[in-house]
Structure formats: C-alpha cells, structure tokens
Amino acid sequence: MSPVSDQQAARRHIDAWNVGLNAAQDQHITLLGQALQQALSTEPQAWLVFDGWEDSPAAAWLQAAYPAWAEERRTLADPALRGLEGMAPCLLPLHRWAEHEADAQRREHTLRDLLALMWLDTQRRLVRQHLCGVVLMPAGAQDLEALFDHWLLLGRQVAPDGQGRVPFRHFDPRSLQRVWPSLSAAQRATLLGPAHSVWQLQAPWGPWAAADLEKDGDHYLPDPESLLGTPPQWHVAQRPTGTDGAAPAPVAVHRLLGAAQIQLLANLPAAQMCWQTMALLAVPVPLQPSAAAMRNMCDLMQAWRNQHPTPWSDTHARDWLWCTWFGADIRHPARGSGEQAVHWGQAPWSARAVKLAQALNDEPGLSLRQHFEDILNADAAPNRASATAPSAV
C-alpha cells in the first residue's frame, strides 16, 4: 500500500469535537464498534441514521472522505420539510461501505470516530443529535421505500383528543429510548415496521452534574473531560421474538402512542432543561430529582394542568418542575432536601395552586417561577407583619 501524506492521514480521522480519547475510552468505543459489526454480520442491510445531512460534522467529513458513498444516501421525503431537504432524516448504507473503503482497519477507525461523535452528541442532551444510530434491515427487505412510508406515518401521531397530529421523532435516541420501555410487544413491532432493530448509544436521563457543563459562546455544553468519564453503552430496540417485519402491523402506525406516552415525550425537553438549570446553579446531584422522581413529577404536572388550564410552554413546564421540587427554597436550591418539596393536593399548596393558575391566566407574560415567588412572598407577609408588630401592653 502506498504511503499517505500527513494531510491525507488527518483527513482519515474525525476529531470528535476536538476531544482526544484516552486509551481506555478508545478501547471501549472500539469494542462498541465490534459489537455493532457482529450484529451487522447477521443482517444484510444496515443504515446509518442522520438527523439531516446539512450542517452535520459527521456528514461533512464523510462527504469529503467518501463522496461516492455519500451520494448513496437516501433522504426521507417529508412534505413538512419541502425546500429544507437538508434537514430531513437521511440514511447512508453502512453495508456498502466496504465497496468504497477496502482497508478494514480504516473502516474500524472511522467507525470508532463516528461512535465518538455520536457519544458526545448524546451527552449534550438538549442539542441536535447529528448521528442518531443504525437501522438494521432483515433479509427480504428490498428497498427503503417501505421504511420511509412507515416513518412518515409514525412521525405524525394522532393527538390524544383525536384532533390533529403530534410529531414523534422516533429516530432520535432521546425520544425512542424514553418511550420504548412503556411500549407493549405489539407496539414495539409496529414502531420498527420493516426494520429488524435500531442501535443507538444510550441517551442520558437523570441528574446533571455541574462539572459536566462548560460555557461555549451562548450555550452551555458538557465539559469533555467530565463526560468522557462515563462509558457509553448500546441501547438496542429490537423486534420482539416471534414477530416478522413482513407481517401486518398489529397496531395502527399513526395511532401507536397513547395519551400518556405522547405526554411523556412532550415533557422530555422540560425535564432536561430543569436538570441543566440545576447543574448551572451547582446543585449537587444528590439534591436533584432522580430519573424516577422526575418521571413522577412529570405525571403530576400533567394532572395539575388538567385541573388548572393555563397558557403553557416548555419554559412553564421547567419552572413548574423546579418550583415543585424546591418549594420555598427555589432561590437557594442547594439547601434542598433531595425530595419533592411541594405536594399540590395538600394545604397550603392546594390553595396556592389555584392562585398560581389564576396568576398565569391573568399575566401570561410573567414567568411561572415569578408568579410562584410572588405567591410565597404574599403568604409570608402577614406572618412577617405579626412578628414585627409591637405587643399590646
């Protein structure tokens, strides 16, 4: 083999967000790649899933290194993204890579780098996941048209009230991994459609340590040295035993998710935003809600909203979770108990819930947290006044 120049050698390596992996991390990522390769040997087709080709560092590198292979990518023809096709999900045939790169060692090293990029994206939680995972297709799968038709139906779920559609980013590891445990076997088979399985790196769901964040312009991102201390693992969404990709779907694809599952997905950004805010304010991990506690609070939040209709957004939801967790300590979260402080069905919080809902409806432009603080201050004012009033002689 002819020697390559330094420039060519650099072009053969993706620098994962300018973060160098140490030997142990590099070995771990290599093992993940080998596990994926083993799975690929059992299925004839495997496709890398990109959340859009445009502005993707992985896509840009592959386009430069393997232009002919990059031209084989297939893009989902989503009518909602007409004119923005570069932002639409697209698939690159991993099973055809060897035809464009004969050197097995180079393929192994590049796959390691792609997995490192995927890993670092998942750790960033709230940003676009450029490379989402790998879809494996079984023997007999002729073309991607059936899969793409399936994805178009899957991506727009019927709303719980039957009116309109709700987006479902099923290819995004954050969405798929949160809803997967709640799906029945029939729902899982329906979600996968003609695919055999979907391989993704596990997306974080739980407290966010202050050490994991660093300022990067206007954004807070995980600190590479900290996040790289947590080895990634595969999350494999696999077809249940005994089901066949060619069999009729046991559940209507566009009605796959129930109301609780749709609400679970809707609350994901607010939960991650809440953990991120806690990390930014250096709230110790033991004082943050665990994954189970956050899920419970999200369920309580939906019940609260059903009882108290108000204007609502992800920011409202984040503030509601924050106030419910810290209660009177919202300005001093490091003093928290590590347990949910507010129980809205009990006094005095039940009366405050009514006041909060009224305030949100009367002044929707003011933050939920500000309304919450105002209510606490107003309730505390009489007590302060009585404590400072001169006693009768």
Residue range 292-335, pLDDT digits in tens: 999 999 999 999 999 999 999 999 999 999 999 999 998 888 77
* pLDDT for the residue 223: 53
Q: How far is CA 320 from CA 22, 357, 365, in A?
A: 40, 11, 15
Which of helix, strand or coil describes residue 156? Answer: strand
The rounded distance, in Å, linking the Cα atoms of 301 and 269 is 14
Cβ atoms of 283 and 182 within 8 Å: the answer is no
Predicted local distance difference test score (pLDDT) of residue 376: 96
Range in 142-156, 232-246, 278-292 the model is least confident about: 232-246
pLDDT at 303: 94
213-216 and 219-222 beta bridge pairing = antiparallel
Of the listed ranges 7-21, 250-264, 296-310, 334-348, the least confidently predicted one is 7-21
Question: What was the pLDDT predicted at 391?
Answer: 52
Who's near 292: CB < 8 A, 6+ residues apart?
Answer: none
Amino acid 120: pLDDT: 82
C-beta contacts of 373-376 below 8 A and 24+ residues apart: 373/330, 373/331, 376/328, 376/352
- Percent pLDDT > 90 in the chain is 61
C-alpha span between 289 and 299 (Å, rounded): 14
So where are the chain's domains?
6-257, 269-383
Residue 80: what pLDDT? 82
User: What three-state secondary structure class fits 132?
Assistant: strand
- pLDDT interval class at 228 (50, 70, 90): low
Q: How many C-beta atoms surround the C-beta of residue 207 within 10 A?
A: 20
Is the confidence at residue 218, as pLDDT, over 80?
no
pLDDT at 225 over 50: yes
Binning pLDDT at 50, 70 and 90, where does residue 13 land? Answer: very low
Q: What digits encode the pLDDT tens for the residues 178-203? A: 999 999 999 999 999 999 999 999 99
User: Given this model, what pLDDT does residue 83 score?
Assistant: 81
CA distances from 41 to 7, 44, 105, 136 (A): 33, 7, 17, 10
Predicted local confidence at residue 167, as pLDDT: 94
Q: Is the peptide bond before 364 cis (omega within 30 degrees of 0)?
A: no
Where would I find the beta strands (DSSP E) of the chain? Answer: 45-50, 74-75, 90-93, 131-137, 156-158, 165-167, 197-201, 213-216, 219-222, 234-238
Please compute the mean of the pLDDT values over residues 259-280 and round it to a whole number.
93
Residue range 252-267: average pLDDT? 93
Mean pLDDT of the chain: 85
Q: Which of 37-41, 89-93, 167-171, 315-319 has the lowest mean pLDDT?
A: 37-41
Q: What single-letter DSSP state applies at residue 98?
A: G
pLDDT at 140: 65
**Tens of pLDDT along 130-183?**
999 999 998 666 678 899 999 999 999 998 888 889 999 999 999 999 999 999
Rounded-to-integer distance, Cα 345 and Cα 349, Å: 7
DSSP for 15-82, please give it.
Answer: -GGG----HHHHHHHHHHHHHHHHHHTTSSEEEEEES-STT-HHHHHHHHH-HHHHTT-EE---GGGT
* Confidence check: pLDDT of 393 > 50: no
Q: Is the pLDDT of residue 214 over 80?
A: no
CB atoms within 10 A of CB 268: 22
Pair 168, 154: CB distance under 8 Å: yes
| Cβ count near 176 (within 10 Å) | 22
How many C-beta atoms surround the C-beta of residue 246 within 10 A?
10
- Look at residue 109 and tell me whether its pLDDT is greater than 90: no
Count of residues in the chain? 393
* pLDDT tens-place string over residues 116-139: 889 888 888 888 899 999 999 986
Candidates 112, 141, 120, 116; CA nearest to 47 is 141
Q: In angstroms, rounded to a whole number, what is the distance separating the alpha carbons of residues 152 and 77? A: 8
Query: Over 90: is that where the pLDDT of 375 sits?
Result: yes
Contact 136, 40 (CB under 8 A): yes
Quote the longest CA-to-CA distance of the chain. 102
The three-state secondary structure class of 150 is: helix
Mean pLDDT of 76-89: 86
Q: Does position 258 have pLDDT exceeding 90, yes or no?
A: yes
**pLDDT value at residue 264:** 92
Compute the distance between CA of residue 63 and CA of residue 28 in angstroms, rounded to an integer.
Answer: 26
